[in-house]
């Protein structure tokens, strides 16, 4: 059996996040997490589909993971998942095939289930199907009376769903070439070639089961999905690794994996589930309130508080900064900031006093403009989403749900309420009034205040 990993797609909706597959979580790109989960469940013989844009990075990942899989560049990204499978077909015979998206992150246990299903002879394939309570822009399954898939309807629009079951891209076919054949002959004028092919297979009698799954699932469609994802990966990692109880822990029952190569001040407080990597320094009066991941060589400075957040490597979380419920990439520098419910790209810096607003004054859900359209994030707390190498000046205020593109600079003191593209320099138009100062300072007032301070 071959396992096809799909990692070619570019997600416009994720902008300014460039490639979710390569986004670092707990010190590894997301794709590596997926590959390791598959390996752990006993899957191997990978075929990896990527794009021109991320080919180099995946080559490096392959080397780092000592894998021998072919890495195929998908030529026509507009053909989506169907194109990926067709382009991989020369590498597959009539074997069974498991098709997995590199970023549909699920509980690893589902792969164990799949191995049992695979041995049964009652179907020609299956898909993992998840019950959704709110509309999600994915492929909805219509099942027939016998419980097999009759049709997949891609993004039907809210209210038109044939069921509440959305397929997760973990699909299995007993004979890969059957799928390839249907893909080659399917016809559609929408963005659903793959779904059409599978619907045609169903029409022609192929029995494709829906394996219902109720565990963790986080597709990364919108930037804020990252905020749930890292947390799952952390919990996952804490289960996997051997548990070391930190004797200084104030929260009994917490799992804390703190590198011996980390320096934790005895005046720092570390609570809850945490992973703290090599070379991390946590200075006096800092607080880390788990669940938290702190990457290699990151500095958590005095009075800084990190809670419920992922911090990448080589970051400086400077004095009195608060990072709450956020994902922070690598090499990010903060200083006396509040960053809440935010996704902060690698190499970004915040000047002192810069703040991410994460709650509207009216406390309503926060909309985010995505490809020109307002999307309700379904969250009433959401901060900023930045690309890589963003710079934010001192005392700047970023409004909830604003996105800032790669290499863009935001001037000091600005109130930023709109999305900013890549490579922009945003400054305020300040007008000052400079007059003669006619105030006469009365020394006694100050002396009076000084006296009060003493008492």
Q: Whose Cβ is closer to its own copies: residue 137's or residue 279's?
A: 279
- Least Å from the CB of residue 309 to its own copies: 14
The alpha carbon torsion through 153, 157, 159, 164 (nearest 10 deg) reads 50
| CA nearest to 314, candidates 4, 16, 27 | 27
Angle, vertex CA 80, rays to CA 76 and CA 82, nearest 5: 100
Scanning residues 241 to 260, which ones bind its own copies (CB under 8 A)? none
Q: Among residues 284, 369, 374, 378, which is the contact residue for its own copies, using CB under 8 A?
A: 284
Angle, vertex CA 382, rays to CA 379 and CA 384, nearest 5: 150
Measured between alpha carbons, how far is 114 from 410 in angstroms, rounded to an integer?
48
Q: Among residues 103, 249, 336, 377, which is the contact residue for its own copies, using CB under 8 A?
A: 336
Q: Among residues 66, 450, 451, 455, which is the contact residue for its own copies, using CB under 8 A?
A: 450
113 CA to centre of own chain: 25
Q: Among residues 362, 373, 451, 455, which is the contact residue for its own copies, using CB under 8 A?
A: 362
* Residue 222 found at the interface with its own copies (CB under 8 A): no
Q: Among residues 235, 302, 367, 379, which is the contact residue for its own copies, using CB under 8 A?
A: 302
| CA nearest to 291, candidates 357, 244, 233, 246 | 233
Given CA atoms 7, 13, 18, 23 in this order, what sign does their dihedral have? Answer: negative
Q: Among residues 50, 355, 384, 404, which is the contact residue for its own copies, using CB under 8 A?
A: 355
Residue with tokens 């494709």: 208
Q: Whose Cβ is closer to its own copies: residue 73's or residue 426's?
A: 426
Q: Tell me the window of 175-183, 211-219, 221-229, 445-453 that interacts with its own copies (CB under 8 A).
A: 445-453
* Residue 338 found at the interface with its own copies (CB under 8 A): yes
Q: Which two tokens stand for residue 38?
A: 């598959």
Measured between alpha carbons, how far is 433 from 56 in angstroms, rounded to an integer?
54
Measured between alpha carbons, how far is 392 from 64 in angstroms, rounded to an integer?
34
Q: Whose Cβ is closer to its own copies: residue 143's or residue 316's?
A: 316
Beta bridge mates, 340? 324
Scanning residues 382 to 441, which ones bind its own copies (CB under 8 A)? 389, 391, 393-397, 399, 407-409, 411-418, 420, 423-441
- Least Å from the CB of residue 445 to its own copies: 4
Residues 6+ apart with CB under 8 A from 358: 340, 341, 342, 381, 382, 383, 400
- Least Å from the CB of residue 243 to its own copies: 23
* Residue 361 found at the interface with its own copies (CB under 8 A): yes
* Residue 379 found at the interface with its own copies (CB under 8 A): no
Size of the site for its own copies (CB under 8 A): 76
Cα atoms in the 13 Å half-sphere on the side-chain side of 362: 4
Q: Among residues 52, 90, 267, 376, which is the contact residue for its own copies, using CB under 8 A?
A: 267
Q: Whose Cβ is closer to its own copies: residue 45's or residue 235's?
A: 235
**What is the largest distance, in Å, between two alpha-carbon atoms of the chain?**
94
Q: If you count them, how many residues does the chain have?
A: 455
Are 100 and 3 contacting, i.e. CB atoms less than 8 angstroms apart? yes
Q: Among residues 142, 181, 285, 379, which is the contact residue for its own copies, using CB under 8 A?
A: 285
Measured between alpha carbons, how far is 97 from 177 in angstroms, rounded to an integer?
9
Q: Whose Cβ is closer to its own copies: residue 105's or residue 304's?
A: 304
- Least Å from the CB of residue 292 to its own copies: 14
| CA nearest to 152, candidates 87, 220, 208 | 208
Q: Among residues 115, 243, 364, 374, which is the contact residue for its own copies, using CB under 8 A?
A: 364
* Residue 134 found at the interface with its own copies (CB under 8 A): no
- Least Å from the CB of residue 183 to its own copies: 43
- The number of beta carbons lying within 10 Å of the beta carbon of residue 222 is 18
Scanning residues 149 to 208, which ones bind its own copies (CB under 8 A)? none
Q: Whose Cβ is closer to its own copies: residue 183's or residue 280's?
A: 280
Q: Whose Cβ is closer to its own copies: residue 155's or residue 319's?
A: 319
- Least Å from the CB of residue 16 to its own copies: 14
Q: Whose Cβ is closer to its own copies: residue 96's or residue 428's?
A: 428
């Amino acid at each position: 059996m071959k396992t096809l990993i799909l990692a070619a797609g570019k997600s416009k909706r994720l902008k300014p996040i460039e490639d979710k597959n390569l986004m670092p979580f707990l010190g590894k790109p997301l794709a590596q997490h997926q590959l390791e989960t598959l390996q752990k469940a006993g899957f191997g013989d990978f075929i990896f589909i990527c794009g021109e844009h991320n080919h180099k990075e995946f080559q490096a990942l392959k080397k780092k993971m000592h894998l021998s899989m072919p890495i195929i560049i998908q030529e026509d990204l507009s053909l989506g998942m169907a194109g990926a499978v067709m382009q991989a077909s020369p590498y597959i015979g009539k074997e069974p095939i498991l098709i997995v998206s590199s970023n549909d992150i699920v509980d690893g246990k589902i792969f164990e289930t799949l191995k049992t299903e695979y041995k049964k002879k009652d179907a020609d394939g299956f898909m993992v199907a998840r019950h959704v309570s709110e509309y999600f822009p994915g492929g909805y399954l219509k099942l027939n009376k016998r419980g097999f898939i009759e049709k997949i309807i891609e993004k039907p629009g809210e209210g038109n769903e044939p069921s509440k079951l959305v397929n997760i891209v973990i699909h299995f076919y007993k004979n890969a070439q059957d799928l390839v054949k249907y893909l080659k002959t399917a016809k559609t004028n929408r963005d659903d070639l793959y779904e059409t092919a599978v619907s045609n297979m169903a029409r022609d009698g192929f029995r494709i089961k829906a394996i219902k799954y109720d565990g963790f699932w986080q597709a990364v469609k919108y930037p804020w999905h990252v905020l749930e994802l890292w947390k799952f990966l952390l919990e996952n990692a804490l289960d996997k690794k051997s548990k070391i109880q930190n004797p200084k822990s104030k929260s009994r029952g917490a799992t804390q994996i703190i590198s011996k190569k980390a320096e934790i001040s005895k005046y720092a407080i570390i609570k809850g589930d945490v992973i703290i990597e090599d070379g991390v320094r946590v200075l006096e009066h800092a607080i880390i309130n788990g669940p938290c991941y702190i990457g290699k060589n990151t500095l958590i400075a005095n009075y800084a508080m990190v809670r419920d957040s992922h911090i990448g490597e080589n970051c400086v979380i400077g004095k009195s900064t608060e990072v709450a419920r956020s994902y922070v990439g690598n090499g990010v520098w903060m200083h006396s900031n509040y960053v809440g419910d935010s996704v902060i790209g690698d190499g970004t810096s915040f000047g002192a006093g810069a703040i991410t607003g994460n709650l509207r004054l009216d406390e309503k859900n926060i909309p985010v403009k995505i490809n020109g359209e307002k999307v309700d994030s379904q969250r009433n707390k959401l901060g900023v989403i930045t690309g890589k190498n963003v710079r934010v000046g001192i005392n700047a205020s970023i409004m909830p749900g604003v996105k800032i593109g790669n290499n863009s600079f935001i001037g000091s003191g600005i109130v930023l309420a709109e999305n900013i593209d890549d490579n922009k320099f945003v400054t305020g138009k300040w007008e000052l009034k400079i007059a003669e100062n006619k105030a006469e300072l009365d020394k006694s007032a100050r002396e009076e205040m000084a006296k009060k301070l003493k008492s």
